[in-house]
Amino acid sequence: MAERIVSSFWRLNISLICLNVMLASSLNLINGVTGQFSLGHAGFMAVGAYVSAVCTVFLHLPFIVSLIGGAAAAGLLGFLVGVPTLRLQGDYLAIATLGMGEIIRICILNIQQVGGASGMSGIPRDTTFPWLFICMVVTLFVLKNIIHSKQGRACLAVRENAIAAEAMGINTTEFKVFAFTIASMFAGLAGALFSHYFGIAHPSSFTFMRSFDIMTMVVLGGLGSLSGSVIGAFILTLIAAVMQSYPEYRMIVYALLLIILMLYRPNGILGNKELAELMLSKWKKGGRGDGPVAENK
């Protein structure tokens, strides 16, 4: 019996890690790579969750089609929201995205056809671990290639200096919207997997606190680092699992973790570097350090 409980515990949390990696790495494209400040990521996750659920429950479409539908709907909404809001900057953008996330949740809350405040149940539990793992790998692969593409370099230029980027002929609003749309699409995919994993989609799963959790993962791992997002998602998911019996203390632990991080690692665990890059750098330094010793021998 104990073995079953332990295995189910780890199975659940490994699945949540995969979902959180998708959410954190996609938000990192906005907050870390492009240098914007979005606080409404949970709203796009909700869109993906509900649209995909409607596809399978009401339209009886195949699971993979519902995933594509959820991701596409979230991406389209991200584009429509991004065009007007991404002309804003800093705190104004944060407030606008926070408000948009809450508007999405309140709208869903008042649509009785999808359960309203009771949530939408009866969703087929088609999400398995292989699906989660494959979608996580695809998300990381696509985001990595975007970051190293021409569009990704333009987003980095916007982050470093938007005025200089404009002077060089880069349409900063266009690339902000591009990053926002891609990130929203992957948030929608994560939401679709989420609703088909638990068999229910409930508005309380997509509150501001969900957006805050995702942002904390990004900041913890390092803004601009995909491997940092993986580490941040891993750490905070395990903390949430350990603190399940003490939910009132979870935010205190998060706050203490962020304070310690700001004191000792203000740029996050990895900063804007990738784990492989840091390991290679240390290996090269170690190799150079061994050179003179070897010669003296």
Number of domains in the chain: 1
- Phi/psi-derived region of residue 271, left when phi > 0, alpha when psi is between -120 and 50, beta in every other case: left
**What pLDDT, on the 0 to 100 scale, is given for residue 279?**
75
The whole-angstrom separation of Cα 32 and Cα 88 is: 17
Residue pair 25/215 in contact by the 8 Å Cβ criterion: no
**What pLDDT, on the 0 to 100 scale, is given for residue 265?**
86
Residue pair 152/233 in contact by the 8 Å Cβ criterion: no
**What pLDDT, on the 0 to 100 scale, is given for residue 9?**
80
Q: Which of 209, 177, 225 is nearest to 101 (CA)?
A: 209
**What pLDDT, on the 0 to 100 scale, is given for residue 295?**
43
Assigned token pair, 37: 């400040």
**What pLDDT, on the 0 to 100 scale, is given for residue 288?**
59
The pTM of this model reads 0.90
For the chain, what is the total number of helices (H) and then of strands (E)?
Answer: 12, 2
- Tell me, rounded to whole angstroms, the distance of Cα 273 from its chain centroid: 18
Q: Which of 20, 28, 21 is nearest to 180 (CA)?
A: 28
Whole-number Cα distances in Å, 194 to 14, 63, 146, 162, 198: 13, 13, 25, 36, 6
Range of the domain at 114: 2-296
CATH number of the domain encompassing residue 284: 1.10.3470
* 297 residues of the chain, pLDDT tens digit each: 434 555 788 889 999 999 999 999 999 999 999 999 999 999 999 999 999 999 999 999 999 999 999 999 999 999 999 999 888 888 889 999 999 999 999 999 999 999 999 999 999 999 999 999 999 999 999 999 999 999 999 999 999 999 999 999 999 999 999 999 999 999 999 999 999 999 999 999 999 999 999 999 999 999 999 999 999 999 999 998 888 888 778 888 888 888 888 888 888 888 888 877 777 777 777 665 554 444 444
What would you report as the CA-atom Rg of the chain, rounded to the nearest whole angstrom?
20
**What pLDDT, on the 0 to 100 scale, is given for residue 273?**
80
Whole-number Cα distances in Å, 267 to 25, 47, 210, 281: 16, 31, 22, 18
195 burial level (CB within 10 Å; 0-12, 13-18, 19+): buried
The whole-angstrom separation of Cα 127 and Cα 64 is: 10
